[in-house]
Structure 1
Amino acid sequence: MLRKKTAISIHLVFWVLFIGIRFIRIGYAPAIRLQFPGLRFFDVSYLVITALVFYINYFFLLPFFSKKNPVIKYLLPVLISYVLFLCIRYGFEQVISPAVWGYRNYYGTPPLWFYAYDNLYYAFPAVVISTIMWVLIHNIRLMEENAQMKVQQASAEIKFLKAQVNPHFIFNTLNNIYALVFNRSQAALPAIEALAGMMRFTTYEAGAETVFLTEEVQYIDNLIALEQLRHEAPLHLQFKKSIANEQQLIPPFMISPFIENALKHGMVEDAASPVTIVLETTASRLTLEVTNKISTRHKDAVGGVGLENIKRRLNFYYPNRHRLQCATTGQIYNVYLQINF
């Protein structure tokens, strides 16, 4: 975040430059040197009035109109602060000063139009530069706050995905494991290990911003192994993977929801139309293609919040660097995902 000290430093730099440019002269004879002619009475009053209007515009006018449409929120503060600058300066230099000290900045009584025209230059720092500075600092803070909100949102969505681990799936898996243990099946220990691996991933590894791609692949392998316990016949499923870099990092739960969808909504019993999962990575790209025949018992889709969640996370982590296509052709549901690292 743009800290308060940084914003104060920006203001201090501006005022040092402003005072230096306006009131320090460069002499060229007999040698180049800085000259400090000193501040006159109306130089001091000009600085005070400029600072006063500058921060009235900065702290009050611009924030007050910031929720209006783009024309009003900038035009009105500029106009109001300019009129305020004219009124304060004219009132002090042309009314109060002659009455108290006997001299004025402008000789005589200048026409109002001339006074307004002549002060366009003098009002520029108080009116225009204050607006530019506020817009820059305000927008930087907005961008930082939006980025922080996106990070928090992504973190919340990860927790949401973790909470979405189907309790019925876990309950059924435990029942199946219990039956394996009761029957002293050799498949009991691998099943317990697979379930423990899944729970470990959702509890610990998935809490990180990124995980190794191989860890999520192991999560998918465990998911498939436990899904097999629910079926007496072997699953008709093909999982082909070619991973170029085992140290490749990805955000957790970026690809596994598509496989969960295929297992939940697809026909894993149909040998003629097996569920196919193809995962390939290179040094610069990941592609995932999942194809399954739609089960008549379920509606096929990464439904509702799930698909929208994945889309938002893809847009957050890989803006303009990914392509996701989900399509139904007849009884076949196909997902294609491409991520460019």
Structure 2
Amino acid sequence: MFTNVLNTTKSFFLHFFFWIGVWFFFVYFFSYNSTDTVYITWFSSLLLPITIITTYITTYVLIPKYLLTKQYFKLGLYGFYTLVLSTYLIVLAIYGSFIFITQLEISKVPPMGRNFIFILILVYLVVGLTSFISLLKHNFNVQSKFKTLENKILETNLQIKQQELNYLKKQIHPHFLFNTLNTIYGFALKKSEHTPDIILKLSNLLDYILYQVQKPKVQINEEVAHIKEYIELEEIRFKDRLLVSFINKIDDTFLEIPPMLFMPFIENAFKHGSIVNHFLTIEIQLTITDSNLQFECKNSFIDTSADESSGIGLENIKKRLQLLYPEKHELMIEIIDAFFIVTLEIQLEKHE
């Protein structure tokens, strides 16, 4: 409430000093080739309220109600009425001053006060100036509101995007844990000596998931270490039935990427890969040079009627990639020569 009162008071004084300035402008204008200060003062004072009325009708009625709403017929009609009213009042001011101030002595009327057209132009010069300022102010307010609305929309979109990413992450984690716990369960049933080692590695993976994956981005060396930890866990599970290689060539080990970006592909390779010639073969390559990221994961695979590309993990990573790198990534999933191959290429930003 105090702010509204302050703004109202500020607006009042701005208008007050503006019209004082207009009055001095009239006095200065009509003083040209005239020294009759009495007539000039009174005539300027009579002309000022006419100008104020015409200006306020134009700026607070005609412009917002008809011009900005594109009601041009009504604008022309009521604009004409305003012109007639102001013309009538100016004529009254001219003849009233001539009768009551100069006592019908035309010689006492200043040269600039005798020309009705000139006086009308002078009044509408002020009206035009204030109308122009009013339109500029309106345009600025509209642009400001539009910018504010645009920022709110962008902020809302970012929040929705972040919420969707978090939702997809939460879906990926249970999927990953489900696969790993199944492995531990199988070893526990066999009372394998590798069970404690698997639990230890799982605890490391859980630490990564709970504390690192919540971040929007992690260093690539942390992601690589996580992948290696997972591969070691799977090597224990598969024993001598697994042939796996992980080659990474990374120029900048401090490069930051979204966490768990490659894990769904790798998990899918271990889960859906086929043992061919007594071995499950998995080859993983990760190359990052400058602003280009290339990832490939291929696993031995016996083609069946099942659609291996429709798992929870792969579907989630496709959605994540669309959100994280729209139009900046290319994902290919294909089967070539008994190998299920996933190829991902991402154009990274320079600051990533």
Counterpart residue identity of residue 138, structure 2:
S
Work out whether 1:94 is the aligned partner of 2:100.
no
Check conservation: 1:326, 1:334, Cα contact below 8 A. Answer: yes
Residues 288 and 139 from structure 1, CA distance in 2 versus in 1: closer, same or farther, beyond 3 angstroms? farther
Work out whether 1:141 is the aligned partner of 2:148.
yes
Q: What secondary structure sits across from 1:245 in the alignment?
A: coil
Paired residue for 1:310? 320
1:227 to 222, 227, 234: 234
Q: CA deviation at 1:203?
A: 2.0
Paired residue for 1:325? 331
Paired residue for 2:282? 275
Check conservation: 2:59, 2:130, Cα contact below 8 A. Answer: no
Work out whether 1:337 is the aligned partner of 2:310.
no
Paired residue for 1:289? 296
- Report the identity percentage: 19
CA RMSD of aligned residues (A): 4.6
Residues 45 and 95 from structure 1, CA distance in 2 versus in 1: closer, same or farther, beyond 3 angstroms? closer
Check conservation: 1:258, 1:335, Cα contact below 8 A. Answer: no
* Distance (Å, rounded) in 1 between the aligned partners of 2:248 and 2:189: 32
* Distance (Å, rounded) in 2 between the aligned partners of 1:55 and 1:236: 79
Structure with higher Rg: it is 2
Q: CA deviation at 1:337?
A: 1.7
Work out whether 1:178 is the aligned partner of 2:178.
no
Q: What secondary structure sits across from 1:208 in the alignment?
A: coil
Work out whether 1:253 is the aligned partner of 2:244.
no
* Distance (Å, rounded) in 1 between the aligned partners of 2:334 and 2:269: 13
Q: Normalising by structure 1, what TM-score?
A: 0.62
Counterpart residue identity of residue 326, structure 1:
M
**Unpaired runs of 5+ in structure 1?**
1-7, 28-36, 62-75, 109-118
Check conservation: 2:276, 2:300, Cα contact below 8 A. Answer: no
Residues 231 and 152 from structure 1, CA distance in 2 versus in 1: closer, same or farther, beyond 3 angstroms? same
Paired residue for 2:31? none
Q: CA deviation at 1:144?
A: 2.0
Number of residues paired by the alignment? 278
* Distance (Å, rounded) in 1 between the aligned partners of 2:262 and 2:62: 53
Deviations 1:93-141 (A, max 9, x none): 5349958x9569xx89xxxxxxxxxx9998666568735752x334423
Counterpart residue identity of residue 336, structure 1:
L
Q: CA deviation at 1:214?
A: 1.9
* Distance (Å, rounded) in 1 between the aligned partners of 2:257 and 2:245: 23
From the two aligned structures, give the one with the greater helix fraction.
2
Check conservation: 2:54, 2:82, Cα contact below 8 A. Answer: no
